[in-house]
């Protein structure tokens, strides 16, 4: 079981992620606001963050940068409805392990979460 | 669009993308892409396209095509292709799924096996003539084309197709596209990355729609329609280029018994090979050299082979940049230049001896006398001492039976870690044998030792002379051995007693020079004498890489001579290797040796091409070209900036190598070599027992690389000597070489080694000489048949041939430390690396990825340097930046850092992996400087200062 932080400005999306991953036995903390998600990570262990790239106040990539400073070993999956190479570059350089495209596909999310959690420390840092 | 039209459109786009990645983009295709028919469709598409990256990608590609003539675009993209995909540049975009599983530059990983399974299931296999790998993006895209065509023409269900899309391409396209965008210098390849990622994500949505039996999104249909129309104008044809019909049964798991060639230790190695993929390396049980062990380098040897930085095709430099070339063109270009330039003005530099009988013979037939190996940069002082004073360059000690071992400047636990002798050394220490390590740095072996003597660099000769003085003065030496089996003792005794110059080499005299107390020197001499004959002294590069250490090596080995410990149980061994037969069969013509007796550079004793004088030789017009095989002279032969300038000033240079390096980048032609796991050889070797050692090819040569024998056969053919180099296969020359042995190649393959002679002691008594008998070889030869205190070569040349200490700066006064540069810097070898040749291997870089400079705690305190500080190290000739490692494990006044670092390519040079970074101590060397006796550059004697930045 892993401690998972899910952040998306659309409540339904975080609820969906929570539902899918809770069934897999993970503890999922859902947030729609960046500040609250960051505050949670300051106080609590986070094994995996699932972050939407397009948020209201900040970008998901910025949040990833902050969370990685707080929790350097934390794994991260970035979500986006509009995949671009530029956001992918930023996310990878900040240490994102996977990049998922919306709409969320249950199998794909489960696979990626399992892969990322299983491969703790497997993926090398890569600066692109 | 109906379903068939949609799938055909998709297939066209996959074909287009596959074509653009598969190889450099041909001129005809660029011309076609520049025509109105293509650009018009693209423009139309751009006007209505709402997919951000797809649209942007099209714009970038169109912009490139419209910016210059087709020929200019073609040339620019050729250079870019070489940089990005052929590893000519330092920031490649690896086009393989394997590299993105772990984001590490390693190919032939699990995705290849999975891709083969998918291909098999689809009734396909990778084409033999597609020389790249199964999980290359072009192959995966072409497979998607196949699936789409199957769906269009045969209405095949698309589950397998979409599984492949999701399970393969979509798993790595994000990372690959991000890498390609950041690495590409041209808008074309950036655009291609955007289009690829964007298209595949739209394909993902298309897959969802198809699987849930929904209609295709209209805007996507529009893109498919117009993009495929644009692609149709290019007339790409119907043929598949990376894949072919038919299943190929996977090859069964097999074991290949061989010997490691990562370092020249040559430990027995067994590879597990499944379907032509090496899945692991382990020690070869029973092998005399390794005894079933492998060090970390040997265990990860296949990651050299599978490094994603491998050179794949020949490269030719034009306008300062590399482009792909055919073997024909690259070899023709090389040999044209060899023919144009006088052989006496060409230097042949080889960094290893893999099947050296072949390339040596080709270069001799060509007629160059300027052939060098790594010998001068390694331990030439030791070799010139030992190979002339008795019969072997390195008389490895019979540790198993030793009672007292003295190692001067040898870090066995790092440099020979996998070898059986290191295991016996550890056991010997455990059972109570005394090990004394003399080294300014507390190396791994010094940590194991009973006593670590932190000597001043370059002064080992003084300490050894002080010990010899005690042995002779106190009559502790073995008179019977000295009388019967040595030459020059009387002269040596006079030297020790100061009868020549009035300076007796007493322990007190030595202490002043080497910084070790006279009491310690005397005590160690006594202990050595008491424990004899089960004692041995040996030295290596820790001694040899300071100037004027030929006589120092003679001095310390003289202790063995004085006590008569050669070939005694526990003493230094005499080597014999049962010679192999010639690679040429009895009825095969042998090539002529056309090399004149000509020495490019001359020293007091050593003469020939001295690569540390490279720049001087080029400036004086003595050298105009270089052919380099598996070497990195820029980083290893002397002052790095000076050697770099020398190669830049040459009229022509060619390098045969597996990777782009600080040397290959300067060459006009680069030929891709195989790693040792892709080719075979047989050698006579020794580790207490004499044995035949087979290096057996584990896999076929990767990409468009060739074995060194094949490359030199081609060079010979073009030089007009092809008739002498006619082997049709590796087996032919291997069988020739084994024809005088009592084992066949077939039998040897099953075991990997063959012991010809068991371990024996005091062999010289049976031989009647310190030289091995006929039919056996060793690296040296003593003219007197005895151990020589007086070096016969020096005696012949009328120069000093007796053991002694000489100041390191005697021939180069400005090497002497002074108040501006009071510290001595040198490099040391680490367990994880082999000189400069392992820095493309991610596993070894992860184990050791940087080289902090060791600074003594007291020195650091005085200079205000803390552990981890960034420091500047300056010599009178250059300066570098480094990270400080503050430690008690190094003598005051000495700095040291691991060698081999400072690459511009591979993991150190790749901006994707900034965590791997180091510096080359050789940058700080005085240009055009070597030991005048032995031509060894002062790699471990560089005067410097260090300061915090």
Q: Average pLDDT over chain B, rounded to whole? A: 97
HEC letters along B359-393: HHHHHHHHCCCCEECCHHHCCHHHHHHHHHHCCCC
Question: Which of B155, B168, B170 is closest to B203 using CA atoms?
Answer: B170
Residue B427 to residues B403, B432, B636, Cα–Cα distance (Å): 12, 9, 34
Q: How far is A11 from chain B (nearest CA, A)?
A: 23
Phi/psi-derived region of residue B519, left when phi > 0, alpha when psi is between -120 and 50, beta in every other case: alpha
Residue A103 has pLDDT above 90, yes or no: no
Any A CB within 8 A of B601 CB: no
Minimum distance, in Å, between the CA of residue B104 and any CA atom of chain A: 6
Lowest mean pLDDT among A36-45, A52-61, B327-336, B458-467: A52-61
- At B789-816, the pLDDT tens digits run 999 999 999 999 999 999 999 999 999 9
Burial of B545 (0-12, 13-18, 19+ CB in 10 A): buried
Say if CB B259 and CB B418 are below 8 A apart. no
Question: Are B921 and B939 in contact, with CB atoms under 8 Å apart?
Answer: yes
For residues B672 and B315, what is the distance between their CA atoms, to the nearest angstrom? 8
Instruction: Produce one character per residue of B474-505: b if its CB has 16 or more CB atoms within 10 Å, e if not.
Output: eebbbeebbeebbbbbebbbebbeeeeeeebb
Task: Judge whether B146 and B243 are in contact, CB under 8 Å.
Answer: yes
Nearest to A128 among B182, B194, B204 (CB): B182
Coil, helix or strand at residue B166: helix
Positive or negative, the CA dihedral B415, B261, B82, B624 is: positive
Q: Per-residue pLDDT averaged across A72-97, rounded?
A: 90
Q: Which of B679, B393, B404 is nearest to B523 (CA)?
A: B404
Residues of A in contact with B208 (CB under 8 A): 103, 105
| Residue in A with minimal Cα distance to B92 | A128
CB contact under 8 A, B174 and A92: yes
Q: What distance in Å separates the CA atoms of residue B778 and residue B686, rounded to the nearest whole number? A: 9
| pLDDT mean over B816-826 | 98
Q: How confident is the model at residue B875 (pLDDT cuts 50, 70, 90)?
A: very high
Res A121 pLDDT > 60: no
Q: Which residues of A touch B179 (CB under 8 A)?
A: 126, 128
> Which of B178, B196, B202, B916 is the best mutation test for A, with the most CBs of A within 10 A?
B178
Residue with tokens 């370092």: B263
| Cross-chain Cβ contact A128/B177 below 8 Å | no
Residue A62 has pLDDT above 90, yes or no: yes
What element of type H or E holds B140? Answer: helix B137-154
Q: Which residues of chain B lie closer than 8 angstroms to A82, CB-CB?
A: 52
pLDDT band with cut points at 50, 70 and 90 for residue B519? very high
Element (H, E) at B42: helix B36-48
Minimal Cα–Cα distance from B755 to chain A, Å? 43
pLDDT of residue B50: 84
pLDDT of A100 reads 87
Question: Closest chain A residue to B91 measured between Cα atoms?
Answer: A128
pTM: 0.96
A81: contact with B, CB 8 A cutoff: no
The reply to whether ipTM tops 0.90 is yes
The Cα–Cα gap between B318 and B554 comes to: 50
Q: Does A88 touch chain B (CB under 8 A)?
A: yes
Long-range pairs, B812-817, Cβ under 8 A, ≥24: B812/B547, B812/B926, B812/B929, B812/B938, B814/B876, B814/B926, B815/B547, B815/B926, B815/B929, B815/B938, B815/B941, B815/B943, B816/B943, B817/B893, B817/B943
Q: Are B541 and B531 in contact (CB under 8 A)?
A: no
Task: Tell me the shortest Cα–Cα distance from B173 to chain A, in angstroms.
Answer: 10
Strands B535-539 and B486-487: unpaired
Instruction: List, for residues B56-101, the tens digit of each pLDDT value.
Output: 999 999 999 999 999 999 999 999 999 999 999 999 999 999 999 8
**Residue B808: what pLDDT?**
97
B209-219 burial: b if 16+ Cβ within 10 Å, else e: ebeeeeebeee
Q: Are B708 and B359 in contact (CB under 8 A)?
A: yes
Contact: B913, A127; criterion CB under 8 Å: yes
pLDDT the model gives residue B176: 97
- Positive or negative torsion for Cα B208, B214, B219, B225: positive
Best of B99, B109, B175 to disrupt the A interface by mutation (most A CBs within 10 Å)? B175
> Number of CB pairs < 8 Å for A and B?
62
Q: Is B235 exposed, middle or buried (0-12, 13-18, 19+ CB in 10 A)?
A: exposed
- Return the domain boundaries, chain A: 3-118
Question: Any CB–CB contact under 8 A between A83 and chain B?
Answer: yes
B773 contacts: CB under 8 Å, gap ≥ 6: B576, B767
CB B821 within 8 A of CB B875: yes
**Dihedral sign for Cα atoms in the order A20, A23, A27, A29:** positive
To probe the interface with B, which of A53, A82, A85, A93 has the most B CB atoms within 10 Å? A85
Say yes or no: B208 contacts chain A, CB-CB below 8 A. yes
Compute the average pLDDT of residues B292-320. 97
Instruction: Select from A85, A99, A123 the Cβ nearest to the Cβ of B53.
Output: A85
Out of A88, A108, A124, closest to residue B178 by CB? A88
A 10 A CB-CB count for B599 gives: 14
CA angle B911, B657, B369 (to 5 degrees): 135
- Enter the CATH code of domain A3-118: 3.40.50.2300
A122 phi and psi, to 5 degrees?
Answer: -75, -40
- Cα separations in angstroms, B636 against B373, B377, B378: 11, 7, 10
Is the CB of A126 less than 8 angstroms away from the CB of B197?
no
> Is a pLDDT exceeding 90 seen at residue B216?
no
Mutating which of B93, B174, B212, B308 best tests the A interface, going by the most A Cβ atoms within 10 A? B174
Residue B414 has pLDDT above 70, yes or no: yes
**CA terminus-to-terminus distance, chain A:** 32
With H, G, I as helix, E, B as strand and everything else as coil, classify residue B404. Answer: strand
Given the structure tokens 């620019």, which residue do they identify? B76
- Band (pLDDT 50/70/90 cuts) for residue A122 is low
Q: Are A125 and B913 a contacting pair at CB < 8 A? A: yes
| Residue-range domains of chain B with CATH | 3-245 (1.10.3480.10), 380-574 (3.40.228.10), 813-948 (2.40.40.20)
Q: Which 868-907 residues of chain B touch chain A by CB within 8 A?
A: none
Q: What is the pLDDT of residues B252-274, one digit of tens each?
A: 999 999 999 999 899 999 999 99
CB A123 to CB B182 under 8 A?
A: no
- For A86, which residue in chain B has the nearest alpha carbon? B178
Chain A contact for B52 (CB, 8 A cutoff)? yes
pLDDT per residue as tens digits for the range B531-565: 999 999 999 999 999 999 999 999 999 999 999 99
Judged against a pLDDT cut of 70, whether residue A120 lies above it is answered with no
């Amino acid at each position: 079981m892993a401690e998972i932080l899910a952040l998306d400005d659309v409540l339904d999306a975080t609820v969906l992620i929570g539902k899918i991953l809770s069934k897999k036995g993970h503890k999922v903390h859902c947030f729609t606001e960046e500040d609250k998600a960051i505050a949670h990570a300051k106080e609590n262990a986070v094994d995996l963050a699932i972050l939407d790239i397009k948020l209201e106040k900040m970008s998901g990539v910025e949040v990833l940068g902050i969370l990685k400073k707080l929790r350097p070993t934390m794994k991260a999956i970035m979500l986006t409805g509009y995949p671009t190479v530029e956001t992918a570059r930023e996310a990878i350089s900040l240490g994102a392990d996977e990049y998922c495209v919306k709409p969320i596909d249950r199998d794909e999310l489960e696979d990626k979460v399992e892969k990322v959690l299983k491969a703790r420390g497997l993926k090398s840092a890569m600066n692109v | 669009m109906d379903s068939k039209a949609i799938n055909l459109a998709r297939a066209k786009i996959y074909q287009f993308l596959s074509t653009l990645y598969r190889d450099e983009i041909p001129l005809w295709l660029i011309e076609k892409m520049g025509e109105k028919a293509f650009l018009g469709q693209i423009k139309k598409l751009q006007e209505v396209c709402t997919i951000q990256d797809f649209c942007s990608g099209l714009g970038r590609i169109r912009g490139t095509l419209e910016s210059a003539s087709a020929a200019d675009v073609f040339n620019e993209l050729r250079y870019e292709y070489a940089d990005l995909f052929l590893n000519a540049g330092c920031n490649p975009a690896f086009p393989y799924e394997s590299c993105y599983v772990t984001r590490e530059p390693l190919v032939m990983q699990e995705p290849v096996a999975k891709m083969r399974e998918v291909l098999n299931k689809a009734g396909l296999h990778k084409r033999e003539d597609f020389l790249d790998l199964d999980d290359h993006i072009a192959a995966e895209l072409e497979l998607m084309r196949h699936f789409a065509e199957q769906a269009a023409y045969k209405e095949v269900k698309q589950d397998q197709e979409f599984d492949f899309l999701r399970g393969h391409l979509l798993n790595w396209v994000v990372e690959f596209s991000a890498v390609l965008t950041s690495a590409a210098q041209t808008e074309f390849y950036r655009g291609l990355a955007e289009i690829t990622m964007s298209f595949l994500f739209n394909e993902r949505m298309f897959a969802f729609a198809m699987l849930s039996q929904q209609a295709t999104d209209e805007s996507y249909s529009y893109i498919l329609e117009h993009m495929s129309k644009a692609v149709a104008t290019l007339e790409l044809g119907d043929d598949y280029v990376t894949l072919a019909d038919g299943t190929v049964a996977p090859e069964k798991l097999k074991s290949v018994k061989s010997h490691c060639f990562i370092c020249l230790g040559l430990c027995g190695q067994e590879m597990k090979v499944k379907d032509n993929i090496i899945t692991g390396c382990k020690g070869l049980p029973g092998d005399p050299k390794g005894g079933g062990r492998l060090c970390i380098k040997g265990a990860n040897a296949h990651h050299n082979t599978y490094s994603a930085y491998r050179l794949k095709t020949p490269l030719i430099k034009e306008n300062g940049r590399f482009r792909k070339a055919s073997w024909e063109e690259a070899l023709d270009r090389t040999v044209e230049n060899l023919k144009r330039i006088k052989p006496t003005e060409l230097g042949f530099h080889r960094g290893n001896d893999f099947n050296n009988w072949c390339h040596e013979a080709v270069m001799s037939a060509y007629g160059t006398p300027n052939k060098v190996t790594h010998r001068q940069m390694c331990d030439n002082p030791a070799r010139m001492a030992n190979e002339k004073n008795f019969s072997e360059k390195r008389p490895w000690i019979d540790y198993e039976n030793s009672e007292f071992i003295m190692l001067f400047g040898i870090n066995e636990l790092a440099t020979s870690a996998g070898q059986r002798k290191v295991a016996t050394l550890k056991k010997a220490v455990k059972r109570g044998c005394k090990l004394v390590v003399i080294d300014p740095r507390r190396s791994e072996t010094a940590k194991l030792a009973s006593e670590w003597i932190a000597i001043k660099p370059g002064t080992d000769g003084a300490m050894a002379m002080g010990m010899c003085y005690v042995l002779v003065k106190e009559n502790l030496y073995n008179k019977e051995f000295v009388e019967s089996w040595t030459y020059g003792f009387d002269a040596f005794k006079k030297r020790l007693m100061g009868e020549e110059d009035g300076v007796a080499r007493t322990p007190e005299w030595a202490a002043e020079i080497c910084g070790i107390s006279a009491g310690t020197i005397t005590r160690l001499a006594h202990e050595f004498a008491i424990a004899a004959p089960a004692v041995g002294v040996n030295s290596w590069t820790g001694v040899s890489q300071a100037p004027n250490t030929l006589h120092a090596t003679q001095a310390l080995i003289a202790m063995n001579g004085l006590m008569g410990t050669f070939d005694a149980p526990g003493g230094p061994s005499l080597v014999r290797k049962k010679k192999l037969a010639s690679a040429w069969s009895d009825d095969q013509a042998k090539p002529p040796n056309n090399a004149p007796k000509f020495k490019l550079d001359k020293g007091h004793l050593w003469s020939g091409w001295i690569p540390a004088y490279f720049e001087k030789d080029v400036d004086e017009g003595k050298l105009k070209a270089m052919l380099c095989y598996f070497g990195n002279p820029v980083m290893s032969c002397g002052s790095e900036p000076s050697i770099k300038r020398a190669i830049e000033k040459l009229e022509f240079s060619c390098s045969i190598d597996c990777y782009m390096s600080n040397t290959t980048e300067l060459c006009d032609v680069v030929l891709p070599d195989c790693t040792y796991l892709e080719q075979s050889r047989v050698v006579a070797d020794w580790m207490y027992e004499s044995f035949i050692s087979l290096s057996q090819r584990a896999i076929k040569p990767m990409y468009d690389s060739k074995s060194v024998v094949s490359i030199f056969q081609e060079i010979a053919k073009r030089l007009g000597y092809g008739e002498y180099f006619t082997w049709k296969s590796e087996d032919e020359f291997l069988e020739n070489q084994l024809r005088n042995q009592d084992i066949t190649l077939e039998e040897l393959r099953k075991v990997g080694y063959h012991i010809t002679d068991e371990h024996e002691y005091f062999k010289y008594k049976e031989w009647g000489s310190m030289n091995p008998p006929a039919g056996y070889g060793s690296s040296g030869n003593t003219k007197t048949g005895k151990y020589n205190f007086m070096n016969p070569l020096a005696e012949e040349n009328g120069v000093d041939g007796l053991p002694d200490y000489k100041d390191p700066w005697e021939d180069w006064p400005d090497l002497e430390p002074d108040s501006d540069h009071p510290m001595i810097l040198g490099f040391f070898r680490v367990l994880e690396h082999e000189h400069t040749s392992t820095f493309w291997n991610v596993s070894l870089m992860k184990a050791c990825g940087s080289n902090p400079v060791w600074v003594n705690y007291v020195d650091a305190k005085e200079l205000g340097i803390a552990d981890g500080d960034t420091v500047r190290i300056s010599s009178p000739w250059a300066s570098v930046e480094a990270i400080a490692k503050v430690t008690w494990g190094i003598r005051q006044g000495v700095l040291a850092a691991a060698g081999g670092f400072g690459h511009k390519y591979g993991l150190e040079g790749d901006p994707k992996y900034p965590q791997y970074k180091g510096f080359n101590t050789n940058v700080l060397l005085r240009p055009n400087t070597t030991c005048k006796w032995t031509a060894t550059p002062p790699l471990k004697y560089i005067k410097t200062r260090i300061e915090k930045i």
